[in-house]
C-alpha cells in the first residue's frame, strides 16, 4: 500500500500490473510492544509458520489445496493460492515472550519491547 | 562535496515534499474501484456453485448475505474494535482497510431455498445449489 508519493509512477504501475499481492499487514508500535496484524483468511494454525530469528520476524503460509484447485471449474479466481511469505525487522524485542493469536482469519503477533538503554555514569 | 551542503544552512530546505502528501497516496488508492473489493473464488460444480469470500476480522453479526433476482450480495460492516489499535501507539505500517465492503455476484438457475453459508477462519463459504434441469422439451420437427 502506498504511504507516500516519492515513487508515485512506479507504485501505481506496480499496483495495477501485479496480479497477486501477498497478504496485508498492519504494524503498530506502543510503548511496550510491537503489534503485527496480518490478514490470513482461510488458513488454520497448522498452515501458518511464524519465525523470529535475530531481528527478523518471518510469517509464511503454505497453500494446501493446490491439487483440487486445478481440477475445479472456476468462474472467478482472485484469492492468492501461492505460498506467501513476509518479513519484518524489529529491534530490541523480548524474544521469549512473543505471542501470537489467530482469530477470524486475523493473525495478531505481539512482540514485547525489551528496553536496553543503559545509563553510563562518569567516574 | 559542494552539492551536498544545504543551501543557506536553513532547515526550510530540508523539508521532504512527500511528507506533506503522506496520506495522499492512501486516499488516492482507496478511490480506485475494485481495489477494495472482497477477494472471492467462485467454483462451479455439477450441482451447485461454491462461493469463497475473504472477510477477515469480521463478526458474524456484521456480515449481511442476500439473494434476490439472481443476484447474491455480500456485505460486511467493520466493527469499531479495529480502530482501537490506532490509539495504542504509533502506526509504523498500515495496509489493511477498515471500511465496509460490499460485492454482488450474479447466478442464474439457483434454488434459493437451498442456499447455505458458513463463516469460518475469516472465510465466508456460500453454497448455491442449482435448480434441477427441467426435462428439456426438444421435439423433432417434421418437415412436410
Closest Cα of chain A to B99: distance in Å?
15
For A94-103, b/e burial (b = at least 16 CB within 10 A) is: eeeebeeebe
**Does this complex have an ipTM over 0.90?**
no
CATH code for the domain of B68: 2.60.40.790
Which residues constitute the domain of residue B56? 37-83+97-133
Could you give the number of structural domains in chain B? Answer: 1
Grid cell, residue A93, equals 524485542
Asked if residue B67 belongs to a domain, the reply is yes
pLDDT tens, position by position, B119-136: 999 999 999 999 876 656
In the β-sheet with B63-68, what is the strand arrangement from edge to edge?
B63-68, B71-76, B101-106
Q: Within the 52-111 window of chain A, which residues sit less than 8 Å (CB to CB) from chain B?
A: 72-80, 103-106
Angle at B103 between CA B39 and CA B49, to 5 degrees: 70
Q: Is A17 on the interface with B (CB under 8 A)?
A: no
Q: Give which of A104, A107, A108, A112 to mutate to test B binding, by max B Cβ within 10 Å.
A: A104
CATH 2.60.40.790 is held by the domain A24-112: yes
Q: Which of A4, A74, A105 sits opposite B42 (nearest CB)?
A: A74
Asked if residue B41 belongs to a domain, the reply is yes
Q: Kindly give the confidence (pLDDT) of every residue in chain A, 123 residues in length, as a single tens digit, with 9 standing for 90 and above.
A: 444 566 667 666 666 665 557 899 999 999 889 999 999 999 999 999 999 998 999 999 988 765 565 677 899 888 888 889 999 999 889 889 999 999 999 999 999 998 877 888 998
Below-70 pLDDT ranges, chain B: 1-36, 80-88, 133-137
Closest Cα of chain A to B15: distance in Å?
13
Contacts of A43 in chain B (CB under 8 A): 121
Asked if residue B7 belongs to a domain, the reply is no
All structural domains of chain A with their residue ranges: 24-112
Closest Cα of chain A to B13: distance in Å?
17
Note the pTM of the prediction, 2 decimals: 0.72
A–B interface: beta-carbon pairs under 8 A = 129
Amino acid at each position: 500500500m502506498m504511504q507516500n508519493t516519492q515513487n508515485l509512477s512506479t507504485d501505481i504501475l506496480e499496483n495495477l500490473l501485479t496480479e497477486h499481492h501477498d497478504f496485508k499487514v498492519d504494524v503498530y508500535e506502543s510503548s511496550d510492544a510491537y503489534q503485527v496484524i496480518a490478514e490470513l483468511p482461510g488458513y488454520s494454525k497448522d498452515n501458518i509458520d511464524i519465525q523470529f530469528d535475530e531481528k527478523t520476524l518471518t510469517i509464511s503460509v503454505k497453500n494446501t489445496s493446490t491439487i483440487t484447485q486445478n481440477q475445479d471449474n472456476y468462474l472467478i479466481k482472485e484469492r492468492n493460492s501461492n505460498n506467501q511469505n513476509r518479513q519484518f525487522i524489529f529491534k530490541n524485542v523480548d524474544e521469549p515472550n512473543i505471542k501470537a493469536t489467530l482469530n477470524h482469519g486475523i493473525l495478531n503477533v505481539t512482540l514485547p519491547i525489551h528496553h536496553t538503554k543503559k545509563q553510563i555514569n562518569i567516574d | 562535496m559542494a552539492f551536498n551542503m544545504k543551501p543557506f544552512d536553513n532547515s526550510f530546505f530540508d523539508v521532504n515534499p512527500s511528507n506533506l502528501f503522506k496520506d495522499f497516496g492512501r486516499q488516492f488508492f482507496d478511490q480506485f474501484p475494485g481495489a477494495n473489493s472482497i477477494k472471492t473464488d467462485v467454483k462451479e460444480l455439477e450441482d451447485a456453485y461454491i462461493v469463497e469470500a475473504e472477510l477477515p476480522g469480521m463478526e458474524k453479526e456484521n456480515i449481511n448475505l442476500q439473494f434476490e433476482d439472481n443476484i447474491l450480495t455480500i456485505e460486511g460492516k467493520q466493527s469499531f474494535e479495529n480502530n482501537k489499535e490506532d490509539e495504542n501507539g504509533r502506526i509504523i505500517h498500515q495496509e489493511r482497510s477498515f471500511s465496509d465492503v460490499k460485492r454482488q455476484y450474479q447466478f442464474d438457475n439457483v434454488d434459493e431455498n437451498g442456499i447455505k453459508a458458513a463463516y469460518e477462519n475469516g472465510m465466508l463459504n456460500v453454497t448455491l445449489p442449482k435448480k434441477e434441469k427441467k426435462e428439456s422439451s426438444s421435439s423433432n420437427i417434421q418437415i412436410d
